[in-house]
Amino acid sequence: MSKTPQTKRDFIAEHVRTIPRSGIRDFFDIVQSMENVVSLGIGEPGFVTPWHIREAAIYALERGKTGYTSNFGLLKLRRGISRYVRDNFAVEYDPNTEILVTVGVSEALDIALRATINPGDEVLYHEPCYVSYHPSVVLAHGLAKAIQTRAVDNFALRAEDIAATVTSRTRAIMLNFPTNPTGATLTQGKWKRLRAPAWTTICW
Ligand SMILES: Cc1ncc(COP(=O)(O)O)c(C=O)c1O
């Protein structure tokens, strides 16, 4: 049993205490407080959400569409997603049973990790990368292990680096291609040659 909390910090779960503050968020907050500075801190489109999307959201509010939907998300939207991934990526997912809508990547990643990782399982991810992957694994009680990629290889994943990081406790690998911030890519054919069969692959 854990000891009785003595300080405010002690109230925070031990695994959460190990997670550092996000430097990019600190930077973003500083830039927000300054006049005439363009913030390149957070990756966002350089345009406002197109009007037809904003209009649809406003119209839905006007019609009182403010209640819960299915936990999977609206079926109409899931059907649209199913068509989109079929037409663009040649993969078939059943909108009734195989698609779940989240508010973004972070929620999807969190759900995927918590659904697949047992405490102490190792999850591999490639660096340099977006800031939240390591903490997401820690929050799911997994052990995050980075695979370094290098400019000289255009930040591609190398089989020997995966092999050097993988152990019998490796449960999953997270793949972010094209990678933020390096722009590295990975083809399906190359991944098939790199991949160990027993892994869960979480990609976006
Ligand atoms: C590569 C990458 N992963 C994850 C995220 C987080 O995405 P979201 O804001 O949809 O949770 C971002 C956001 O910029 C990102 O660039």
Domains and CATH numbers, the chain: 69-101 (no CATH), 103-203 (3.40.640.10)
Would you state the pLDDT for residue 1? 59
What distances in angstroms separate CA 129 from CA 112, 178, 183, one per listed residue? 18, 11, 10
- Where does residue 98 rank: exposed (0-12), middle (13-18), buried (19+ CB within 10 A)? exposed
pLDDT at 3: 72
Q: What is the pLDDT of residue 44?
A: 77
Q: What is the model's pLDDT at position 191? A: 87
Ligand 1 pocket mutation, candidates 28, 44, 101, 106, criterion most atoms within 8 A of CB: 106
Q: In testing the pocket of ligand 1, which one of 42, 105, 129, 180 has its CB within 8 Å of the most ligand atoms? A: 105
Q: Which two tokens stand for residue 72?
A: 């999977």
CB 141 within 8 A of CB 149: no
- pLDDT for 201 equals 79
- CA of 107 from ligand 1 middle (Å) equals 10
Q: What was the pLDDT predicted at 197?
A: 58
CA distance 67 to 163: 48
202 φ, ψ (degrees, to nearest 5):
-110, 110
Cα 172 from Cα 117, distance rounded (Å): 8
Please give the DSSP secondary-structure letter assigned to residue 120: T
Return averaged pLDDT per consecutive 10 residues of the chain, 204 residues in all. 76 92 84 85 84 97 96 96 96 97 95 95 95 95 97 94 92 93 91 74 80
